[in-house]
Structure 1
Amino acid sequence: MRVGADDEQPALGEEPSADGCDQGLEFPLSASIDGEIPMGSERMEMRKRQMSVQQDTPSSVQAPQATSNRASNACCFCWCCCCSCSCPSATLEDVVSWGQSFDKLMSTPAGRNAFREFLRTEFSEENMLFWLACEEFKKEVNKNAIKEKARLIYEDYISILSPKEVSLDSRVREVVNRNMVEPNEHSFDEAQLQIYTLMHRDSYQRFMNSSNYKDLLQSFSESTPES
Structure 2
Amino acid sequence: MPTDVIKAKNYLLSLGIHGEIPMGSERMEMRKRQLSGQQEAVAGVTVTAPAQQGQAGQGQRASNACCFCWCCCCSCSCLTVRNEDREERNRRASCDVKAEGTTDCEESPKPTVDEVRLWGQSFDKLMLCPAGRSAFRQFLRTEFSEENMLFWLACEEFSKETNKSAIEEKARLIYEDYISILSPKEVSLDSRVREVINRNMLEPTSHTFDDAQLQIYTLMQRDSYPRFINSPVYKTLLKSVSEQSPES
Q: Which interval holds the TM-score relative to the shorter structure?
A: 0.5 to 0.7
CA displacement at 1:226 relative to structure 2: 3.0
* 1:148 equivalent in structure 2: 169
* 2:146 equivalent in structure 1: 125
Give 1:183's aligned amino acid.
P
* 1:159 equivalent in structure 2: 180
CA displacement at 1:77 relative to structure 2: 4.9
CA displacement at 1:225 relative to structure 2: 2.0
Identity of aligned pairs, percent? Answer: 75
Task: For structure 2, list consecutive stretches of 5 or more residues without a partner in the other structure.
Answer: 1-103
In 2, the alpha carbon distance for the partners of 1:145 and 1:225 equals 47
Among candidates 184, 188, 197, match of residue 176 of structure 1: 197
CA displacement at 1:192 relative to structure 2: 0.2
Number of equivalences: 145
Larger Rg, first or second structure (1 or 2): 2
**TM, length-normalised to structure 2:** 0.57
Task: For structure 1, list consecutive stretches of 5 or more residues without a partner in the other structure.
Answer: 1-75, 80-86
The 1:107–1:129 alpha-carbon spacing in structure 2 relative to 1, beyond 3 Å, is same
The 1:136–1:180 alpha-carbon spacing in structure 2 relative to 1, beyond 3 Å, is same
SS of the residue 1:88 aligns to: coil
CA displacement at 1:90 relative to structure 2: 1.6
In 2, the alpha carbon distance for the partners of 1:221 and 1:95 equals 9
Map 1:53-202 onto structure 2 (within 5 A). 77-78=105-106, 88=109, 90-202=111-223
- 2:242 paired with 1:203: no
In 2, the alpha carbon distance for the partners of 1:77 and 1:182 equals 35
SS of the residue 2:185 aligns to: coil
Q: Deviations over 1:156-182 (max 9, x none)?
A: 000000000000000001100100000
CA displacement at 1:209 relative to structure 2: 0.5
The 1:163–1:121 alpha-carbon spacing in structure 2 relative to 1, beyond 3 Å, is same
* 2:70 equivalent in structure 1: none
Aligned-residue Cα RMSD (Å) equals: 1.5
Give 1:173's aligned amino acid.
R
In 2, the alpha carbon distance for the partners of 1:152 and 1:130 equals 11
* 1:8 equivalent in structure 2: none
Q: Deviations over 1:71-113 (max 9, x none)?
A: xxxxx7549xxxxxxx525210000000000000000110000
In 2, the alpha carbon distance for the partners of 1:102 and 1:143 equals 33
In 1, the alpha carbon distance for the partners of 2:211 and 2:222 equals 16
In 1, the alpha carbon distance for the partners of 2:105 and 2:115 equals 13
- 2:234 paired with 1:213: yes
The 1:130–1:143 alpha-carbon spacing in structure 2 relative to 1, beyond 3 Å, is same
**TM, length-normalised to structure 1:** 0.62
In 2, the alpha carbon distance for the partners of 1:77 and 1:151 equals 27
